[in-house]
Structure 1
Amino acid sequence: MTHESVPQANSPQELLASVRDLTRQVRVAQRGTWFPLLVLATVTLLAIPVYRYAPYWDVFDACQTGPEYRVCPAPNPAELAYWTVALTIAYAVIAGFYVRQSRRRGLGTPIRPYITVGVALAVLMTAVSSWLTFHPLIPVPADPSSPADIEVGPAAWVVNGLASPVAVIGLALLVLAWVERHWALLAYSVVLLAIVAIMGAQVIQSSSRWFFLPHLLVPAVVLLLGSAVFALFRRASEVEA
């Protein structure tokens, strides 16, 4: 007579596997990654007319004017005001989306850290940009027609790059990746920040008033593509569940 061990329905291995599967399903149900990316892409695209048509407010009296040129070391305060207000509204809309989704699905999402960090970074961006007006890490030539060769260390480019609006968006997305336990979003956020860093290190010398366009269009396209991809993955996960 032989005795064979028969796995029981409530064995520790099966219970552990069930808990892991349930945890994965809950995390997938809590995620709404596509929506923040869509909202932030919209905010980035809406910044284009502000950059193009908003008059420069020299509130810091830092511009240098010559016979045929005008050099301003600081970003347009109108642009900073737009990003601060637009990002704050965007995070409020995103918070509303997650609250509505939680009520509909009956699963709460700890979205507060992402919203708090996002708004804080938007305000900090404005403060750092204002500080850099009087303490520029990358000197601006007094005469753009004959710029001098200025050597700037990588640290200066990093600080200036992190003070940009799209970098602020990417840094906040790292927090969202932690909140949602989303490895794919983490990798995506790192790629977005790398793109911002590479573009920020490029010096554009152009007389066109549309010179800024690549710095807004490229991140906006990346955000839109990310939103579409994460939405497709979410639908696929819901079908499998």
Structure 2
Amino acid sequence: MTRRVRATQRGSWLPLLLLGVLTLGGILVSRLTFSVRTVTCPPIHSSSDTIASCVITKQGSPLYWTLGLLLAYAATAFFYIRSSRNRGVGTPVRPYVLAGIVLVALAAATEFWTLRHLTPGLPVDFWGLHLDPGSGAATFLGRFTGAAASVGLPLLVLAWVERSRALLLFALAYLALQLVPVTASWAGLGPLSPWSALPRLLVSGVFLLLGALGFALAQLPRRRGES
């Protein structure tokens, strides 16, 4: 009986679908918000007489991702609650939605903080940690505070509350995908290309949509059995 109730409560295909569509939409947002500008870098202590120029690229919209993710979590909560009422069972979605909202807020605050305190040619100010922009720690934290934290970690929470091993493996694979550097060079694009975000977002979006399709197909036999 417990297994049947848990199977009935599951609906992970919908959040994966919403997150996949949101990720693919980020491709167009990244293209439309892409800009390149050249500024004068701060003088280096070892060669203070040398004036260097720094190229700064801006791409993506923190507002798009913050609002989009919050709407996705709100839609997921509405779907789970409505489904639970129709089927007469409880819903385990609350920890997932709360975790998602909290982590989205933290990720957004981190990104705004970093952008506000970013000075070309100087270490990245990451909540008081002054990191070399080219260091592995800065690169890792930059990836982790993005979709890995705001999407991957909540998926781990959803896998826990749904007691779904398949979703757990999917969430771990998604986290690994976010932490692996899928760069523009994979598609033959340079870092100054307006489509430089295409490979990373396309791979992540398709991965989420394929996951949504797989979990939806796996749930069809249970729905037919209920009917």
1:230 to 209, 215, 221: 215
1:30 partner amino acid: Q
Is the partner of 2:24 in helix, strand or coil? helix
Deviations 1:21-73 (A, max 9, x none): x00000000000111100111111111221111266x9xxxx7526997315x
State the partner residue of 2:2.
Answer: 23
More strand, by proportion: 2
TM-score (norm: length of structure 1): 0.74
* Percent of matched pairs sharing the same residue: 40
State the partner residue of 2:178.
Answer: 196
Does the 8 Å contact 1:110/1:179 carry over to 2?
Answer: yes
1:115 to 75, 97, 114: 97
User: What stretches of structure 1 of length at least 5 have no aligned partner?
Assistant: 1-21, 140-149
**1:110 shift after superposition:** 2.3
State the partner residue of 1:156.
Answer: 138
1:65 to 32, 36, 39: 39
**Structural mapping, 1:134-173, within 5 Å:** 134=117, 135=125, 137-139=131-133, 150=134, 152-153=135-136, 155-165=137-147, 167-173=149-155
Q: Distance in 2 between matches of 1:226 and 1:179?
A: 18
Deviations 1:74-109 (A, max 9, x none): x65x61111011111111111110011011101111
**1:166 shift after superposition:** 5.0
User: What stretches of structure 2 of length at least 5 have no aligned partner?
Assistant: 41-51, 118-124
Deviations 1:172-192 (A, max 9, x none): 101111111111101100001
Does the 8 Å contact 1:27/1:181 carry over to 2?
Answer: yes
1:40 to 10, 19, 29: 19
Q: Distance in 1 between matches of 2:220 and 2:112?
A: 43
For the structure 1 residues 210 and 203, does the alpha-carbon distance in structure 2 shift closer, same or farther, using more than 3 Å as the test? closer
Q: Distance in 2 between matches of 1:25 and 1:37?
A: 22
State the partner residue of 1:210.
Answer: 195
**1:237 shift after superposition:** 3.7
Is the partner of 2:167 in helix, strand or coil? helix
Q: Distance in 2 between matches of 1:171 and 1:207?
A: 31
1:217 partner amino acid: L
**1:206 shift after superposition:** 3.0
Aligned-residue Cα RMSD (Å) equals 2.6
Does the 8 Å contact 1:167/1:196 carry over to 2?
Answer: no
Q: Is 1:89–2:51 an aligned residue pair?
A: no
